[in-house]
Amino acid sequence: MAEEKTNDQECVNFTGKWELRTSEKLDEYLKEEGWGFIMRKAAAAVSATQIILQDGDKTLKVNVKNKKGIFEYTAPLDGSEIKYVDNDKDDVISKSVFSDDKQAIIESVIKGKESKQYKTTRYMENGEMRLKIENAKGKYCIRIFKKISNK
């Protein structure tokens, strides 16, 4: 008999301050996105910090800081659409939901004037937060963050 899923299942909590430790498949991903060699190498060397405040299964407030500056958004986790402007000064339309097992947050993104579509999946593995960023062609990278504080 299949295990029945309930809405009471405990959800993953990403609250804390997270610092980028490393990335997987970043060069291949950025190449697919049309980035040149020098820009790809520079991107690989740039640090990033995310400060996240999660309100259970209701909202995820994300503050992103990198070389380009700081941006912040609050995503309802019920699939409601939000709009914000990111560090590239692109308009972003976003919808976020939990995975069926509530162990990941999946965000559907439409970004910029060209309305490029992306899917991000935020999940935990080995005590670290992973952010898988996938483009419409299925090419992806995984950004791996270590927790540096609980606030």
Residue type, 118: Y
User: Quick check: 144 and 122 in contact, CB under 8 A?
Assistant: no
pLDDT of residue 8: 55
Instruction: Give the pLDDT confidence score for residue 68 in this predicted structure.
Output: 86
Buried b (16+ CB within 10 A) or exposed e, 50-70: bbbebeebebbebebbeeeee
pLDDT bin (cut points 50, 70, 90) of residue 45 is: confident
pLDDT tens for 50-69 read 999 999 999 999 999 988 88
pTM: 0.88
Q: What beta strand segments (E) does 56-127 contain? A: 59-66, 69-76, 78-85, 91-98, 104-111, 116-125
What is the residue whose two structure tokens read 């640090």? Answer: 47
Q: Which residue did the predictor score with more confidence, 16 or 8?
A: 16
